[in-house]
Amino acid sequence: MKRIFTWGSFALIVVLIVWGMIAAANKAERESAGVASVDQVTATDWIKGATSSPVTIIEYSDFQCPACAAYFPLIEKLIAENTNVRFVYRHFPLQQHNNAMPASRATEAAGNQGKFWEMYSMIFETQPEWESVSDAKAVFSGYAQKIGLDMTKYATDVESKEVDEAINADIKSGIKSGVNSTPTFYVNGKKINNPREYEEFKKIIDDAATTAANS
Amino acid sequence: MKNLRKLLTTPLQLQQIPKWVPVVILAIALIGFADATYLTIEHYQNEIPPCTIGGCESVLTSQYAQVAGIPVSLLGALNYLIIVTLLFLYLDTKKEIFLRVPVLLSVFGAVASIGFMYIMIFVIKAFCPYCVVSAATSLSIFAVSLWLVLKSRNLSQQVQG
């Protein structure tokens, strides 16, 4: 009788805990429903290109990743030469890149003064210059000055909690969508294999535009 | 080191152990099990648990959060589940071995916890409350176990002496 009681409570406790934790996890998931998804552009996203275009590219990227910097001119060309596409940049700074987070912060702080994309370009273009410096923050402050930001505001913003939260929201949405490397591109909500060259990327965009037009 | 081994391989003096001790270890292990299970479920749902303080993202997505593709939280959950199961076996059969194995396991738990806390504080430099809870339960189990071993050893020396 005692044995039945002992093992009955064992089973009950373990089942209750697992069940309770699944319930808690599901509750957390519902609460995080506000996390941006890969098929939706949100009001807080950084968008470049025509606002009402049939094709949306969302990139999860890390300013310190060499491949991300390699895609930078390609993306610029895509936006410049194609009117059917808009581009969304989301932060996904990787742990092993010490200067990626400060870079993201710098762009967000510049974004507060309407110069996100200026800082974005500057940081990608100069990646080799700051990727291994110990004080990347100072380098980015220099860039902030160069693009004509209000430096008092920049200094406050770059360390602010809001900037932190904006970046973390991007990271969260990336994790939720299963992003595990950078750059990861989504075209109209679908993850694509990273194209090796411009023409390949353009074809993906054009195909997506055709599909969007036919649906 | 030799002393430590002796300490751990000497059978515990069951008759001297207060009845509440295994129950306390069991209760702490259940807290640890709940915590680690939660993190494991979140991991497989590609979710990051809500953290009002700290940087759960940085910790739970870092390269240290997995060992050979297995999330550390899953290893933790299994560790706690084994401890819980053995303690129930002990409560059922009162066989000394079912208490001594969790005591031994608690050493690994404590070492792993200290290691992960070190990585969290000094390498990742972020704070993950869920991970701290797990470290606290592991270290508490170790502390109670250590007390148990020392007490039992003193008693056995008294008996022998």
> Which CATH number characterizes residue A76's domain?
3.40.30.10
A68 found inside a domain: yes
Question: What is residue B71's three-state secondary structure?
Answer: strand
Residue of chain B nearest A173, judged by CA positions: B47
Give the count of alpha carbons within 13 A of A59, CB side only. Answer: 24
Instruction: Locate the domains of chain B by residue range.
Output: 21-160
- For tokens 């700051």, what's the residue? A130
Using a CB-CB cut-off of 8 Å, the residues of chain A touching B50 are 28, 31-32
Residue B155 has pLDDT above 80, yes or no: no
In chain B, which residues touch A (CB < 8 A)? 30, 33-34, 37-38, 41-42, 45-50, 55, 57-58, 61-63, 81, 84-85, 88, 91-92, 124
- Whether A124 and A72 have beta carbons less than 8 Å apart is answered as yes
* Among A215, A209, A169, residue whose Cα is nearest residue A187: A209
| pLDDT confidence bin for B135, thresholds 50/70/90 | very high
Q: How far is A28 from chain B (nearest CA, A)?
A: 7
- Whether B76 and B132 have beta carbons less than 8 Å apart is answered as no
Written as one letter, the residue type at A133 is: V
The C-alpha atoms of residue B6 and residue A55 are separated, in whole angstroms, by 69
Q: What is the pLDDT of residue B77?
A: 96
A135 found inside a domain: yes
Nearest to A176 among B47, B62, B63 (CB): B47
Tokens of residue B155, six digits? 């008693």
Nearest to A95 among B30, B63, B91 (CB): B63
* Residue span of the structural domain in which A101 resides: 46-214
Q: How far is B37 from chain A (nearest CA, A)?
A: 7
Q: Which residues pair with A29 in a beta bridge?
A: none
Fold of B21-160: de novo design (two linked rop proteins) (1.20.1440)
Q: Taking the CB of residue A14, how many other CB atoms lie within 10 A of it?
A: 17
A102 found inside a domain: yes
The C-alpha atoms of residue B94 and residue B155 are separated, in whole angstroms, by 19
**ipTM exceeding 0.90, yes/no:** no
A120 found inside a domain: yes
What percent of chain A is helix, strand and coil (3-state, nearest 5)?
Answer: 60, 10, 30
- For tokens 């606290």, what's the residue? B136
The number of domains in chain A is 1
The answer to whether the Cα torsion of A131, A100, A198, A79 is positive or negative is: negative
Q: What is the pLDDT of residues A27-74, one digit of tens each?
A: 776 665 556 777 778 878 999 987 778 899 999 999 999 999 999 999
Inspect the interface and report whether the beta carbons of A7 and B49 lie closer than 8 Å: no
Inspect the interface and report whether the beta carbons of B38 and A96 lie closer than 8 Å: no
* Among A14, A8, A130, A114, residue whose Cα is nearest residue A64: A130
Residue B161 has pLDDT above 60, yes or no: no
* Among B57, B85, B119, residue whose Cα is nearest residue A6: B85
Residue B89 has pLDDT above 90, yes or no: yes
Q: What is the DSSP string of B14-44?
A: GGGS-THHHHHHHHHHHHHHHHHHHHHHHHH
Inspect the interface and report whether the beta carbons of A13 and B91 lie closer than 8 Å: no
A140 found inside a domain: yes
Q: H-type helices in A32-149, by residue range? A: 66-81, 100-111, 116-125, 127-130, 136-146
Q: Taking the CB of residue A23, how many other CB atoms lie within 10 A of it?
A: 11
